[in-house]
Structure 1
Amino acid sequence: MTPPDAPIPHAALPELVDSHCHLDFPDFEGELPRIIASAHTAGVRRMVTICTRLRNEPAVRAIAEAHEGVFFAAGTHPMSAAEEPLATVDQLIALSRHPKFVGIGESGLDYHYTADSAEVQKTSLRIHIQAAQETGLPLIIHARAADDDMARILTEGYRARPYSCVMHCFSSTAELARAALDLGFYLSMSGIATFPKSQELRDIFAAAPLDRILLETDSPYLAPVPYRGKRNEPAYTAFTARTGAAIFGLDVADFAAATTANFDRLFTKARIKAEVI
């Protein structure tokens, strides 16, 4: 429950969007109606719940089907790439036909914990890139301690055939940020940006165009201040929006409106669906 000493700022906000969360994780078991209602109260009208192992896709899809304003994406997380069967392009294309399926991934590279599976991660990433190219849906990228390979593979794929992409929970280097932005990609701001020692990351966001910034929680992980160290949830997008507004020197309402417009431009299926629900 939300502590009374840290109210979620929502009274005057336009719509916020949590572009990346994991509502199927055990942390939320039995609480989803409350979690989603709390998000709506905080102004978070839409959220994208991410499937990280394709065998869990039916459960993730069911959550999106059961809740207004909840959309989903699916792929193989790089840390699971060596443990799961490789996805196929055809498999991802088939999933993309669902009206609430709005993105490909998350995929990417993670050499911090799973460097030993780097080659299979690269293969998996290229499959997800091709699926994004074929479907026209945005690629959702997880990147950790693999900046050179990440920039190279994303750029090679884009030069072969353009696609759209968001660097989810961006916390990498300024060099990778520039490489992604040069390709027209988006950077997603998570609760990490609110941490006191994240000034270097805040500087990277400040140097980016406002029209390439999204908000996310990555919940149940990475809760923003004042909930750092506790379970995160989509409602807390509002706290990261406060920090984002300060980074860009904007009112919170203006920053919220800008990031929601960015989400609509990237995740077009979620925008179209939102207009009719």
Structure 2
Amino acid sequence: MEWIDTHCHLDEDAFTQDCEEVVTRAVDAGVKAMLAVGITLESCRRVLELAERFPQVHAIVGLHPNYVAAANPGDWEQIVALAKSPKVVGLGETGLDQYWDHSPIELQAEFFDRHLELSRELDLPFVVHCRDAEEAVVKQLKTHAERGPLNGVMHSFCGSVETAHVCMEMGMSLSISGMVTFKKNETIRKTVATIPLDRLLIETDAPYLAPTPFRGKRNEPAHVRLTAACLAEIRGVSKEEIAEATTANARRIFRLPVG
């Protein structure tokens, strides 16, 4: 079986000492590609360096909504330049976060618009971070969808069935993280059961959100298969079917090479 981890943070301090071993374990577990996501300009530079270092790693660059207030003048222009690298397969993570109070929501919305506009300009998919901001995120996405279908992914989706289907109607796909394996998250599991296989992706968000039985420990891309196993159980299908569908979806959306 072949897996693709569509969202991880391999440039984080948690992987400083053993990044090569982490990548090797993932490859040995059947993970054919890992999409390393930047959150600041420096983070984006680091994920691009990792993508140059490891053939299985690809970069997604952008400014995370929690860090847009800390961005320096000229940072966005440098993100735009980095986005044109052949190792960059997407933009983000972008979106809105009303859980933390790190950046004014108006500034988050401005940068969300910038990422969505750049997505159309460069024909790259965008990755959405949404925390305690479901209604506002959907409203902003709808504004951009008036110009045509959106080429985007809802990262670590844990929203409602209604939001899931509105996003899919706009052309988007939904990526599921290890949270779906947590016992208390029955609502997420019910939502996941309603998502068509051709709109489903899997991710780790490593080093965060480690799936059961590793909850509370450092997550890593090799664990993406545990989230996939949970999805197979929820949907009453084989792990092979989940692997085939989610891997094909990731390759199509992010234009990843086969093999």
In which range does the TM-score fall when normalised by the shorter chain?
Answer: over 0.9
Superposed, 1:44-63 pairs within 5 Å as: 44-63=31-50
Residue range with higher mean Cα deviation, 108-117 or 184-193: 108-117
Structure 2 residue aligned with 1:218: 205
Counterpart among 57, 61, 73 of residue 70 in structure 1 = 57
- Distance across 2 between alignment mates of 1:32 and 1:65: 14
Superposed, 1:20-169 pairs within 5 Å as: 20-85=7-72, 91-114=78-101, 117-169=104-156
Could you state the TM-score of these two structures normalised by the residue count of structure 1? 0.89
Answer yes or no: is the 8 Å Cα contact 1:195–1:225 preserved in 2: yes
Could you state the TM-score of these two structures normalised by the residue count of structure 2? 0.95
C-alpha RMSD of matched pairs (Å): 1.6
Q: Sort the Cα spacing of 1:116 and 1:106 in 2 relative to 1 into closer, same or farther, 3 A.
A: closer
- Segments of structure 1 that go 5 or more residues without pairing to the other structure are 1-13
- Equivalent pairs counted in the alignment come to 259
Structure 2 residue aligned with 1:204: 191
1:258 partnered with 2:217: no
Letter in 2 for 1:22: H
- Segments of structure 2 that go 5 or more residues without pairing to the other structure are none
- Distance across 2 between alignment mates of 1:27 and 1:89: 26
Which whole-Å deviations, capped at 9, do the CAs of 1:163-222 have from their partners, x for residues lacking one?
300000111222321221111201101000000111100111111111100000000000
4+ residue runs over 3 A deviation: 85-93
Counterpart among 146, 165, 174 of residue 178 in structure 1 = 165
Identity of aligned residues (%): 37
Counterpart among 175, 181, 187 of residue 174 in structure 2 = 187
Deviation, structure 1 residue 57: 2.1
Deviation, structure 1 residue 145: 0.8
Deviation, structure 1 residue 56: 2.6
Answer yes or no: is the 8 Å Cα contact 1:133–1:161 preserved in 2: no
- Distance across 2 between alignment mates of 1:29 and 1:115: 25
